[in-house]
Structure 1
Amino acid sequence: MLQPTKLDRKSSLSEFSTQELAQALMERLSISPDEWHKLKSNRKARANEQAAAAIVFLLKDQPEEALPRLQQAVGWLDRSISAPPCPTHQKGVRSEE
């Protein structure tokens, strides 16, 4: 079986809009519920996820939605934010009655 060449892949990518490609990237970089506990504090993974989401919003001409995601991405990279504790695993936390 022949493997596609870089040129073949590039021409097949041209069939998609920039927004579709960005959406695919966002979906690829999004942290799934199954991976959440493993990656919730992974700064690179979290920054990738937020930056990709910001690109999608920018391409949809929604800068007001892109900006907080870009700020989140920067926060993960400069270590100014951290993952909050998982609410289902906090000790001593009681639900409202």
Structure 2
Amino acid sequence: MSQSISTTQDDLAQKSTLELAQLLAEKCAIAPNDWHRLKANRKAQANQHITAALVYLESGQTQEALAHLQQAVGWLDRSVSPLPCPTHGTH
């Protein structure tokens, strides 16, 4: 078991900061089938935006990183609310 853990750590050590940020962003992204369950989950929403901000920051896109950080803060300070479901349309 410890052999697989050290191999994983070695694999991660070989990745660039951008690659690590992308892996983390993929892990934290809210999947479409989880959207309804997590749309109002402030931690999940903020986490998604923070990890996306890391990817943009590592890519040199500071304005996009800042926009995602501001969204994350909005989720945490409750100034942002979930949008209606995009597949239900307007009634």
TM-score, structure 1 length as denominator?
0.83
User: What aligned pairs does 1:17-36 form with structure 2 within 5 A after superposition?
Assistant: 17-36=16-35
**Offset at residue 67 of structure 1 (A):** 0.9
The 1-side partners of 2:62 and 2:8 are apart by 31
2:37 matches 1:38: yes
SS of equivalent to 1:41? coil
Question: More helix per residue: 1 or 2?
Answer: 2
Residue of structure 1 equivalent to 2:77: 78
- Give a deviation string over 1:30-79, Cα, whole Å, max 9, x none: 00000000001100000000000000000001001111100000000011
Aligned-residue CA RMSD (Å): 1.7
What amino acid sits opposite 2:69 in the alignment? L
Aligned-pair identity in percent equals 49
SS of equivalent to 2:32? coil
The 2-side partners of 1:50 and 1:37 are apart by 17
Could you list the structure 1 runs, at least 4 aligned residues long, displaced by more than 6 angstroms after superposition: none
SS of equivalent to 2:84? coil
Can you give the 5+ residue segments of structure 2 that lack an aligned partner in the other structure? none
**Offset at residue 89 of structure 1 (A):** 6.5
**Offset at residue 86 of structure 1 (A):** 2.0
The 1-side partners of 2:84 and 2:15 are apart by 39
Can you give the 5+ residue segments of structure 1 that lack an aligned partner in the other structure? none
